[in-house]
Amino acid sequence: MSLEHALLGFLSYSPMTGYELKQHFDQSIYHFWNANLSQIYPALSRMKEEGLLTMEVEHQEDRPNRKVYTITDAGREALQRWLVTPLPPGQVREAWLIQIFFAHFQSNDEIVSLLEARMDAMRARLAVCRTEIQAAIDQNAAQSGVERASQLWQITLDYGIAHYETQLAWLEQTLARVRKLPPLTPPKP
């Protein structure tokens, strides 16, 4: 139910449209939680039915009407309960590690290519964290003026940066090991 709680968290700052909520996901927590509009809108609909938020239609003349969602008192209570509830560790699901696990019939060069592609992707994500997400956190911190919230936002970004740096370090070590693997032997018929 973390998607719903993230939505409630964003709506606790101010009323927003589904599109604005998606922008907040992309600009602030993408490094640890992502959501698509196809996930956000059904969740908002369910949460409205559960009484966790309300929705008002803002009529616009030159554009389509906007559906603006606002957190309710019940939504704030649900968010507060969830925020103080310890959560179990999440399950790790990394499809690319399945590729590595079963790569014994691939050449070392093919495995190296997979690892190098992963490293490129991690470097790109790290760059986004250090630039775009950092800029969004800095801007939101300046606008909100709430030092406590700003520091907590930064803590989550620091986690994302450390995660990608750790993965890059592991990939560097693994790359060296893969280059030294025994040569590929063809499967027995």
Helices 2-11, 73-83: crossing angle, 10 deg rounding: 120
Q: What is the pLDDT of residues 43-54, one digit of tens each?
A: 999 999 999 999
pLDDT attached to residue 74: 97
Q: What is the pLDDT of residues 141-162, one digit of tens each?
A: 888 888 899 999 999 999 999 9
- 121 token code pair: 């992707």
pLDDT attached to residue 1: 56
Given a contact cutoff of 8 angstroms between Cβ atoms, the answer to whether 25 and 56 are in contact is no
Given a contact cutoff of 8 angstroms between Cβ atoms, the answer to whether 25 and 34 are in contact is yes
The pLDDT of 105-129, averaged and rounded, is 95
- 35 token code pair: 């959501």
pLDDT attached to residue 27: 86
pLDDT attached to residue 72: 98
Mapping DSSP to helix (H, G, I), strand (E, B) and coil, where does residue 138 land? helix
Given a contact cutoff of 8 angstroms between Cβ atoms, the answer to whether 48 and 69 are in contact is yes
pLDDT attached to residue 59: 92
Our measurement of the distance from residue 95's CA atom to the centroid of its chain's CA atoms, rounded to an integer in Å, reads: 17
Q: Alpha helices, DSSP H only, in the chain? A: 2-11, 18-24, 37-49, 73-83, 95-101, 108-128, 134-144, 147-179
**pTM for this predicted structure:** 0.81
Mean pLDDT of the chain: 93
pLDDT attached to residue 91: 85
